[in-house]
Amino acid sequence: MRTILTKEQITRLKKNPCVFECTPHFVHYTYEFKIRALDLHAKNISPKEIWKRAGFDISIWKKNYCNDTVKDWRRLVRKGGLQRLNKMSGVQSDNRSKAEKEKTKRLELQVKYLKAENDFLAKLRAKRAESNSGRVKNIKSLKN
């Protein structure tokens, strides 16, 4: 029996940068996370530890979820190479539009992050300018 995720769990999972998309029945991980997980697993790090390091609460999944997921990814790579990990779900299709949608979504998330970063830096610059506006910059010229 599969794990059915609650709305709260889905919300938390969507905030994790390793998650591309999440529904009550599926968690779709980013390509980068899949590659990193396989690399770490090859270095004898357990799948549960990989998920913990990535910031996941593994208690929400069934007992062997992490192990089975890594095993599925290894099988996919063995059968079709790393490009097979770019597909969205466990049932892999050759539909290119899904890969394009994933790339678009990833780029949109990157743009959203960069906009938030720019907003933060703009506020920081404004705050600095405000605090510097009252300072006397050239003390020597004031003495004469």
Domain layout of the chain by residue ranges: 1-90, 95-134
What does the pLDDT look like over 47-72, one tens digit per residue?
999 999 999 998 888 888 999 999 99
CA distance 72 to 47: 12
pLDDT average, residue stretch 76-86? 85
Alpha carbon dihedral 106, 107, 113, 119, in 10-degree steps, equals: -160
Q: What percent of the chain has pLDDT over 90?
A: 38
Model confidence at 91, pLDDT cuts 50, 70, 90, reads very low
pLDDT average, residue stretch 61-88? 87
